[in-house]
Amino acid sequence: MKKILTNVLLAFFLVILSVTFGSRLWAEENEVCLDCHEGDEVPTHIFEPDTIGWDYRHDPEADPAEIDIVSFEKAAHGKLQCTECHTNATETHDEDEIVIKKVECKSCHKEEYKEYQKTVHGEAMFKRKDRFAPDCTSCHGHHYIYPASDKNSSVYVLNIPETCGRCHKEGTAMTETHEISQVAVVENYSMSIHGKALFKQGLTVAPTCTTCHGEHDIFRHEDAESKINEANVATTCTQCHSLIEETHQKIVKGRLWEKIPGQLPPCVECHSPHTLRQAIYDKTITDRMCLECHTNPKLKPIEEKLSKSLYMSRTEHEDSVHAEVPCVKCHYDIHSESDKACKEIDAFNQYLAADGTNKDLACKDLEPVKCAACHEGEVTAYDASTHGKLMAEKDGDVPSCVDCHGKHNTLSKKNVQSSTFPKNVPDLCGECHKDGGKSAIRGNTKETEIMINYTNSTHGRALLDSGLLVSATCVSCHMPHKILPGNDIESSIFHENLPATCANCHLGIFEVFKNSVHSPLVTKTDQLLPACNDCHTSHTIQRHDTSQFRLNTVDQCGKCHEKLLPSYFETYHGKASKLGEGAVANCADCHGSHDIHKADQPSSTLHKDNKIQTCSKCHVGVNEAFTDYLPHASHNDRENYPLLFYAFWSMTGLLIGTFALFGLHTLLWFIRLIIDHAKNGSNGNKQLHAQEKHYRRFDVTHTVLHLMIIVSFLTLALTGMTLKFTENEFFMAVSQILGGPIITGYLHRFAAVITFFYFSFHLFRLFTLFSKREITLKGLLTEEYSMIPLPRDLKELVQNLKYFFGKGEAPKLGRWTYWEKFDYMAVFWGVTVIGLTGLVLWFPEAATIVLPGWAINVAAIIHSDEALLATGFIFTIHFFNTHLRPGKFPMDTVIFTQKIPLSVFKEERSREYEQVLASGELENKLENPPSKGHLFYSKLFGFIFLTTGIVIVAAILYSVLFAYRG
């Protein structure tokens, strides 16, 4: 046991020693060689005949003895010692004139060498001693041999044609001195389908020389061992073309190529080995023969019923993609064996009848050209399409290949003159699919103006106006050949297939979309999930940043999310959207467009961690409380939103109660005034009496303040109601006239500033009067100037109600009536409530610093309904009390003129008149009547304001009764 352990340790020590010093020994040994062989001055050597590879023998500039150590060490043999290959080389072989023996690769590569000896190359090398016979170094190189997987290797797949071409390329010494059955092999290969796949498309799976001929086992094709022997060629081809039976199933049955070699022609009989393919048509008929007849414009078919010309423009054909394709390759059923062959006719007039029709010739009964001979894939797709199926039914309206691509003038789709050039495709398809076209007349689609819509779409404008050829055309979506209706499961525009179709251009968006809730990969449901055209439409696609697209987004989302749409339209965003403002936030701005996820997912834009960022796209200074705003809350949903529910119904109760109470008061008063008017007649002329003295009730400050109130209130009412009643066509028209919701918003806020100004000014004036002792607290509770409701106002109300019912006289009124005091106090209430809630809506980011987000929802309800109450009250109750009641109709101008006729003052304000008269101040306050101009403009502006208010309240009434669904 001890001896065994000792031997194991000794062996281990020797291994370590060999590894440690072996590399050093290699380096030292090779270093001796490199002392001479690395650099420019390499000593002359004596080589054994045929030691140098073919490439060196025919390249006098190359020196096989000169070594680039960096390249050598990177090569496959970089770790070998020089003497492992150059077995008789010594340190002084140059001085000793030792003849360097030829490297024997077979010492390591036995199997490859054995194969090589039997091949056509080995035969040339060993039997015929052909000086052009390639050896190992001819293909693999001398010192710089790399693995076949290395791009630097001469046998790397992309380099193989060049390596073989050193000998087999046309014009080399080998091809000039040897008889090779195939000519221009490398040139033909480079233009073949295999060569193009390799060189132009970089497909490293494309066949190269070694794929078909072998690597070391290359034999003449007559040799039974050759991979291209008639018996073996099918097996060779099926290395790549594994479906050879299926491809030729209409021609042959079964695996006859392999089972019974020789029974069928081998692949290379039809498919030329180095070019595209070998012609299967009659090569003896030349294009010249065909063109002698068919370039004559008079040539027509014999049948009288056919009016088509058989003329073919030589120029058009020469410019087409088929310029190099012989006529008989398409018209393959023309054969020289026929006794009618064109080539047997010597002169033109021998086969052209006097009437210009052709005589009984070889081309008389030709079958239609079968494009599938070359374009099998395209024709197969066409046959499966709507066009192809109708064509099979002999439908005369359906386009064939030549209808789209042309006959003899077929151009590449890259040619700007081609009908299939991207910019020309809409016109090509439009020949049938435009309004009035064959397809449109047949009623194959419900959509109208398809071509007009496409032309005006983003794709159409990009293609036709901007010349962006990558823009989608008809064939981008419907496919060029396999065109199927949208309800066909194989159609490119079938609902489930559409995202993948659009992904041909919009791949990045598709990658995002497939992970969203709208993707069938994420949401498993029996319901139809939206595809691209559900949101973007088919032919009317617009840029996502256009106003129209943004407006359409809401409607598109609403088709599926019907329950959420009404609540969105109750928000400012929704109302402004209804009024045609596309800049406001829509569904996609909050939920995302292609990247929509459930709100509880971290990737969602509405996830709690992302809400601030989402809202910040529009709102500056967003805080966490702001994101608690309820965008889809409904004030009708008591269970989920009780605060909104009770806020709404509280305001509704206040509105109904106020209008019910004061509406009854107004109605009773109106009836009493009508009765009095019927009994006593009108006394309205007293107001217009030119000679009568006027009593000054107001000063200029009151007029200016009232004008500010009128202008600001009308502006607030008009702009506010356009947003509240967005379904009312009148308010929609007003919004459009004023410039849209954004502009009306600015006007609304400007009017609010005026309101805050006059309100603040009035408070300041009261403070000033208090400071001057012109009014006192006691006076506010007792004096006539007080605007505070007092017990005498209640007494006047009771007395007035008795008067309404004919139970007493009208009360004697002082400076301010009870209804005027109500109006005054209502301003304090309204400005406070509407103003504060308006500020919350104006500055929601700042408001939510101290308020929760749902306070914005509550503020919107209170602001809206209180504004409706104020607007309705002013334009009905206030207007009646001040202007429209009998005796004042059509308008009381006192606030504009500051004066009232003395007789009217005495009648309407009898108590105040008596007090002024008793104080001796009456004469001091009597003035001349206002000038006619002053009175005219007062009435003009008054009528404008009055009429505007009446129109607004009429529109509100219409909305409340017939349109509003709030």
Is 544 a residue whose pLDDT tops 50?
yes
580: left (phi over 0), alpha (psi -120 to 50) or beta: left
CA–CA gap between residue 787 and residue 775 (Å, rounded): 11
Q: What is the pLDDT of residue 491?
A: 95
Is 13 a residue whose pLDDT tops 80?
no
Report angle CA 237, 238, 240 to the nearest 5 degrees.
85
Is 26 a residue whose pLDDT tops 50?
no
- For 400, other C-beta atoms within 10 Å of its C-beta total 14
pLDDT band at 305 (very low <50, low <70, confident <90, very high): very low
pLDDT digits (tens, 9 = 90+) for 399-441: 999 999 998 999 999 999 999 999 999 999 999 999 888 888 8
Q: What is the pLDDT of residue 354?
A: 45
Nearest to 651 by CA among 659, 639, 641: 659
Report angle CA 817, 822, 827 to the nearest 5 degrees.
130
- For 567, other C-beta atoms within 10 Å of its C-beta total 18
CA–CA gap between residue 369 and residue 322 (Å, rounded): 13
What is the residue extent of each domain of the chain? 33-256, 372-494, 643-963
Q: What is the pLDDT of residue 253?
A: 45
Cis peptide preceding 631, ω within 30 of 0 = no
Q: What is the pLDDT of residue 324?
A: 84
**Residues with Cβ within 8 Å of residue 783, at least 6 apart in sequence:** 775
pLDDT band at 891 (very low <50, low <70, confident <90, very high): confident
Q: What is the pLDDT of residue 258?
A: 56
How long is the chain?
A: 966
Q: 643-963 in CATH: which number?
A: 1.20.950.20
Asked which of 22-31, 684-693, 936-945 is least confident by mean pLDDT, the reply is 22-31
Q: What is the pLDDT of residue 718?
A: 96
Mean pLDDT of the chain: 83
More reliable by pLDDT, 721 or 962? 721
Token pair 């696609």: residue = 541
Is 56 a residue whose pLDDT tops 80?
no
Token pair 């309205």: residue = 684
Cis peptide preceding 930, ω within 30 of 0 = no
Counting residues of the chain whose pLDDT is more than 90, the rounded percentage is 44
**CB of 82 closer than 8 Å to CB of 72:** no
pLDDT band at 844 (very low <50, low <70, confident <90, very high): very high
Report angle CA 622, 725, 549 to the nearest 5 degrees.
60
Half-sphere exposure in the Cβ direction for 501 (13 Å, CA): 24
Q: What is the pLDDT of residue 44?
A: 55
Is 898 a residue whose pLDDT tops 50?
yes
Task: Give the mean model confidence (pLDDT) for residues 109-128.
Answer: 81
- Helix then strand then coil, in percent of the chain rounded to 5, is 55, 0, 45
Both tokens assigned to 65: 């003895």
Asked which of 315-324, 450-459, 551-560 is least confident by mean pLDDT, the reply is 315-324
**Residues with Cβ within 8 Å of residue 435, at least 6 apart in sequence:** 448, 449, 450, 451, 452
Task: Give the mean model confidence (pLDDT) for residues 127-151.
Answer: 83
pLDDT band at 331 (very low <50, low <70, confident <90, very high): confident
Q: Which value, to the nearest 10 degrees, does the dihedral of the CA atoms of residues 719, 720, 721, 727 take?
A: 90
Asked which of 9-18, 294-303, 539-548, 956-965 is least confident by mean pLDDT, the reply is 9-18
Asked which of 738-747, 769-778, 870-879 is least confident by mean pLDDT, the reply is 769-778
Q: What is the pLDDT of residue 99?
A: 73
Is 966 a residue whose pLDDT tops 80?
no
pLDDT digits (tens, 9 = 90+) for 462-496: 999 999 999 999 999 999 999 999 999 999 999 99
Q: What is the 3-state secondary structure (H, E, C) of 860-875?
A: HHHHHHHHHHHHHHHH
- What pTM value is reported for the model? 0.65
CA–CA gap between residue 273 and residue 890 (Å, rounded): 105
Phi/psi of residue 423, nearest 5 degrees: -70, -20
Q: What is the pLDDT of residue 342?
A: 44
More reliable by pLDDT, 7 or 156? 156
- Kind of pairing between the strands at 694-696 and 926-927: antiparallel
Task: Give the mean model confidence (pLDDT) for residues 304-332.
Answer: 77
Q: What is the pLDDT of residue 347?
A: 34
Q: What is the pLDDT of residue 79?
A: 80
pLDDT band at 229 (very low <50, low <70, confident <90, very high): confident
- For 610, other C-beta atoms within 10 Å of its C-beta total 17
Q: What is the pLDDT of residue 550?
A: 92
**CB of 399 closer than 8 Å to CB of 432:** yes
Strand 926-927's sheet: what is its strand order? Answer: 899-901, 694-696, 926-927
Task: Give the mean model confidence (pLDDT) for residues 550-565.
Answer: 91
Token pair 């929601």: residue = 844
Asked which of 283-287, 596-600, 897-901 is least confident by mean pLDDT, the reply is 283-287
pLDDT band at 340 (very low <50, low <70, confident <90, very high): very low
Task: Give the mean model confidence (pLDDT) for residues 56-61.
Answer: 40
Q: What is the pLDDT of residue 180?
A: 75
Asked which of 68-77, 530-539, 577-586 is least confident by mean pLDDT, the reply is 68-77
Q: What is the pLDDT of residue 163?
A: 86
Reduced to 3 states, what is the DSSP secondary structure of residue 899?
A: strand
Is 23 a residue whose pLDDT tops 50?
no
Distances 471 to 428, 461, 468, 624 between C-alpha atoms, Å? 16, 9, 6, 43
- For 16, other C-beta atoms within 10 Å of its C-beta total 10
More reliable by pLDDT, 263 or 924? 924
Is 805 a residue whose pLDDT tops 60?
yes
Task: Give the mean model confidence (pLDDT) for residues 655-679.
Answer: 92
Asked which of 117-121, 208-212, 346-350, 847-851 is least confident by mean pLDDT, the reply is 346-350
Task: Give the mean model confidence (pLDDT) for residues 514-522.
Answer: 94
DSSP 422: G
